[in-house]
Amino acid sequence: MTEGSEQIISIIDYGVSNLGSIRNMLHKLGLRSELVATPEAVAGARKIILPGVGAFDHGVAALAGRRLIAPLRAKALEDRIPILGICLGMQLLGMGSEEGTSGGLGLIKGACVRFRFAEGSPLKVPHMGWNETAPKRLNPLLSGLGAGARFYFTHSYHLMCEDPADVLATATHGIEFTAMVQRDNVAGVQFHPEKSHRFGMTLLRNFGAI
Protein backbone atom coordinates (compact mmCIF):
# COMPACT_ATOMS: atom_id res chain seq x y z
CA MET A 1 0.00 0.00 0.00
CA THR A 2 1.37 3.39 -0.95
CA GLU A 3 1.56 6.36 1.36
CA GLY A 4 -1.22 8.05 -0.63
CA SER A 5 -3.59 5.10 -0.25
CA GLU A 6 -3.35 5.36 3.55
CA GLN A 7 -4.72 8.89 3.55
CA ILE A 8 -8.34 9.52 4.40
CA ILE A 9 -10.29 10.68 1.36
CA SER A 10 -12.42 13.69 2.26
CA ILE A 11 -15.75 13.72 0.37
CA ILE A 12 -17.29 17.18 0.13
CA ASP A 13 -20.81 17.12 1.57
CA TYR A 14 -22.65 20.19 0.30
CA GLY A 15 -26.13 18.79 -0.10
CA VAL A 16 -26.23 18.05 -3.83
CA SER A 17 -25.28 14.39 -4.04
CA ASN A 18 -26.07 10.98 -2.63
CA LEU A 19 -22.77 10.23 -0.93
CA GLY A 20 -23.55 6.72 0.29
CA SER A 21 -22.65 4.91 -2.93
CA ILE A 22 -19.28 6.65 -3.14
CA ARG A 23 -18.42 5.80 0.46
CA ASN A 24 -19.56 2.21 -0.04
CA MET A 25 -17.35 1.79 -3.10
CA LEU A 26 -14.35 3.28 -1.30
CA HIS A 27 -15.01 0.96 1.65
CA LYS A 28 -15.03 -2.07 -0.67
CA LEU A 29 -11.64 -0.96 -1.93
CA GLY A 30 -10.26 -0.67 1.59
CA LEU A 31 -9.99 3.13 1.28
CA ARG A 32 -10.85 5.26 4.29
CA SER A 33 -13.17 8.20 3.74
CA GLU A 34 -14.95 10.94 5.66
CA LEU A 35 -17.64 13.48 4.87
CA VAL A 36 -16.55 17.10 5.25
CA ALA A 37 -18.91 20.07 5.18
CA THR A 38 -17.10 22.99 6.81
CA PRO A 39 -14.23 25.26 5.71
CA GLU A 40 -12.16 24.03 8.65
CA ALA A 41 -12.63 20.38 7.65
CA VAL A 42 -11.74 21.11 4.03
CA ALA A 43 -8.62 22.97 5.19
CA GLY A 44 -7.46 19.81 6.93
CA ALA A 45 -8.08 17.48 3.99
CA ARG A 46 -5.24 15.64 2.27
CA LYS A 47 -7.21 14.16 -0.62
CA ILE A 48 -10.62 15.33 -1.85
CA ILE A 49 -13.54 14.01 -3.87
CA LEU A 50 -16.03 16.64 -5.03
CA PRO A 51 -19.22 14.81 -6.10
CA GLY A 52 -22.40 16.40 -7.38
CA VAL A 53 -25.63 15.99 -9.31
CA GLY A 54 -28.10 18.54 -10.63
CA ALA A 55 -27.86 22.09 -11.92
CA PHE A 56 -24.60 24.06 -12.11
CA ASP A 57 -25.76 27.23 -10.35
CA HIS A 58 -27.36 25.23 -7.55
CA GLY A 59 -24.06 23.43 -6.98
CA VAL A 60 -22.11 26.70 -6.90
CA ALA A 61 -24.65 28.24 -4.51
CA ALA A 62 -24.46 25.20 -2.23
CA LEU A 63 -20.66 25.44 -2.04
CA ALA A 64 -20.80 29.21 -1.49
CA GLY A 65 -23.47 28.87 1.19
CA ARG A 66 -21.14 26.62 3.18
CA ARG A 67 -18.13 28.89 2.52
CA LEU A 68 -16.32 26.05 0.75
CA ILE A 69 -15.18 27.72 -2.49
CA ALA A 70 -12.14 29.53 -1.09
CA PRO A 71 -10.83 26.54 0.90
CA LEU A 72 -11.31 24.22 -2.08
CA ARG A 73 -9.34 26.55 -4.33
CA ALA A 74 -6.64 26.85 -1.67
CA LYS A 75 -6.31 23.07 -1.37
CA ALA A 76 -6.02 22.79 -5.14
CA LEU A 77 -3.78 25.74 -5.94
CA GLU A 78 -1.70 26.21 -2.78
CA ASP A 79 -1.55 22.87 -0.98
CA ARG A 80 -1.85 21.05 -4.32
CA ILE A 81 -3.49 17.96 -2.88
CA PRO A 82 -5.19 15.42 -5.18
CA ILE A 83 -8.76 16.45 -6.04
CA LEU A 84 -11.27 14.42 -8.06
CA GLY A 85 -14.53 15.95 -9.29
CA ILE A 86 -17.37 13.56 -10.17
CA CYS A 87 -20.22 14.40 -12.61
CA LEU A 88 -21.41 17.90 -11.60
CA GLY A 89 -18.28 18.03 -9.44
CA MET A 90 -16.16 17.83 -12.60
CA GLN A 91 -18.20 20.59 -14.25
CA LEU A 92 -17.74 22.81 -11.20
CA LEU A 93 -13.96 22.60 -11.70
CA GLY A 94 -14.36 24.76 -14.80
CA MET A 95 -15.08 28.43 -15.32
CA GLY A 96 -18.84 28.30 -15.83
CA SER A 97 -21.71 26.71 -17.72
CA GLU A 98 -24.40 27.55 -20.26
CA GLU A 99 -26.76 26.08 -17.69
CA GLY A 100 -26.48 29.14 -15.48
CA THR A 101 -24.69 32.39 -14.76
CA SER A 102 -22.43 31.51 -11.82
CA GLY A 103 -18.70 31.11 -12.10
CA GLY A 104 -17.12 27.76 -11.26
CA LEU A 105 -14.05 27.00 -9.21
CA GLY A 106 -11.79 28.02 -12.10
CA LEU A 107 -9.37 25.13 -11.67
CA ILE A 108 -9.76 23.93 -15.27
CA LYS A 109 -9.97 26.50 -18.08
CA GLY A 110 -13.16 25.77 -19.96
CA ALA A 111 -16.93 25.95 -19.71
CA CYS A 112 -19.83 23.54 -19.98
CA VAL A 113 -22.15 23.46 -22.99
CA ARG A 114 -25.34 21.49 -23.63
CA PHE A 115 -25.55 18.58 -26.04
CA ARG A 116 -27.42 19.79 -29.12
CA PHE A 117 -28.71 17.51 -31.86
CA ALA A 118 -30.80 18.16 -34.93
CA GLU A 119 -34.54 17.82 -34.63
CA GLY A 120 -35.52 14.22 -35.22
CA SER A 121 -32.15 12.86 -34.13
CA PRO A 122 -32.40 9.55 -32.28
CA LEU A 123 -29.82 10.83 -29.80
CA LYS A 124 -31.30 11.88 -26.48
CA VAL A 125 -30.47 14.56 -23.93
CA PRO A 126 -29.55 13.85 -21.23
CA HIS A 127 -26.89 11.40 -22.28
CA MET A 128 -27.67 8.52 -19.95
CA GLY A 129 -26.26 5.02 -19.65
CA TRP A 130 -23.05 3.13 -20.29
CA ASN A 131 -20.45 4.47 -22.70
CA GLU A 132 -16.90 3.62 -23.64
CA THR A 133 -14.08 6.05 -23.02
CA ALA A 134 -10.93 6.69 -25.04
CA PRO A 135 -7.78 7.74 -23.13
CA LYS A 136 -5.80 10.60 -24.66
CA ARG A 137 -2.56 10.17 -22.73
CA LEU A 138 -0.94 8.16 -19.98
CA ASN A 139 -1.87 9.01 -16.41
CA PRO A 140 -1.91 7.11 -13.08
CA LEU A 141 -5.70 7.53 -12.91
CA LEU A 142 -5.98 5.40 -16.06
CA SER A 143 -3.78 2.56 -14.85
CA GLY A 144 -5.46 -0.70 -15.87
CA LEU A 145 -8.07 1.18 -17.94
CA GLY A 146 -7.30 0.82 -21.62
CA ALA A 147 -9.42 1.78 -24.60
CA GLY A 148 -12.94 0.43 -24.22
CA ALA A 149 -13.29 0.98 -20.48
CA ARG A 150 -17.00 1.59 -19.86
CA PHE A 151 -18.59 3.95 -17.36
CA TYR A 152 -22.08 5.07 -16.40
CA PHE A 153 -23.04 8.60 -17.52
CA THR A 154 -26.02 10.81 -16.83
CA HIS A 155 -25.64 14.45 -17.95
CA SER A 156 -26.95 17.07 -20.35
CA TYR A 157 -23.87 19.34 -20.34
CA HIS A 158 -20.23 18.59 -21.04
CA LEU A 159 -17.04 20.51 -20.30
CA MET A 160 -15.16 22.02 -23.24
CA CYS A 161 -11.53 22.61 -22.26
CA GLU A 162 -9.63 25.58 -23.63
CA ASP A 163 -6.39 23.59 -23.44
CA PRO A 164 -6.59 20.19 -25.18
CA ALA A 165 -3.81 19.00 -22.87
CA ASP A 166 -6.32 19.06 -19.99
CA VAL A 167 -8.45 16.39 -21.67
CA LEU A 168 -7.56 13.01 -20.19
CA ALA A 169 -10.22 10.88 -21.92
CA THR A 170 -13.17 11.34 -24.23
CA ALA A 171 -16.40 9.53 -25.01
CA THR A 172 -18.83 9.88 -27.90
CA HIS A 173 -22.52 10.79 -27.84
CA GLY A 174 -23.20 12.20 -31.26
CA ILE A 175 -19.97 14.18 -30.84
CA GLU A 176 -16.71 13.42 -29.10
CA PHE A 177 -16.86 15.06 -25.66
CA THR A 178 -14.62 15.33 -22.63
CA ALA A 179 -15.19 12.43 -20.25
CA MET A 180 -12.15 13.03 -18.00
CA VAL A 181 -9.96 16.04 -17.29
CA GLN A 182 -6.67 16.41 -15.47
CA ARG A 183 -4.35 19.31 -14.81
CA ASP A 184 -1.58 18.78 -12.27
CA ASN A 185 -3.24 17.64 -9.02
CA VAL A 186 -6.82 18.34 -10.17
CA ALA A 187 -8.86 15.75 -12.08
CA GLY A 188 -12.49 15.20 -12.96
CA VAL A 189 -14.72 12.53 -14.45
CA GLN A 190 -18.07 13.25 -16.10
CA PHE A 191 -19.34 9.75 -15.34
CA HIS A 192 -20.16 8.07 -12.03
CA PRO A 193 -17.32 5.70 -11.08
CA GLU A 194 -19.31 4.58 -8.01
CA LYS A 195 -21.95 3.18 -10.40
CA SER A 196 -19.53 1.78 -12.96
CA HIS A 197 -18.69 -1.62 -11.44
CA ARG A 198 -15.17 -2.92 -12.05
CA PHE A 199 -14.07 0.00 -14.22
CA GLY A 200 -15.18 2.50 -11.61
CA MET A 201 -13.54 0.48 -8.89
CA THR A 202 -10.27 0.54 -10.80
CA LEU A 203 -10.41 4.30 -11.24
CA LEU A 204 -11.20 4.99 -7.59
CA ARG A 205 -8.47 2.56 -6.53
CA ASN A 206 -6.05 4.49 -8.73
CA PHE A 207 -7.14 7.79 -7.14
CA GLY A 208 -6.65 6.30 -3.69
CA ALA A 209 -3.10 5.33 -4.60
CA ILE A 210 -2.05 8.76 -5.87
Catalytic residues: 87, 192, 194
The torsion angles phi and psi of 97, rounded to 5 degrees, stand at: -155, 145
Distance CA 174, CA 161 (A): 18
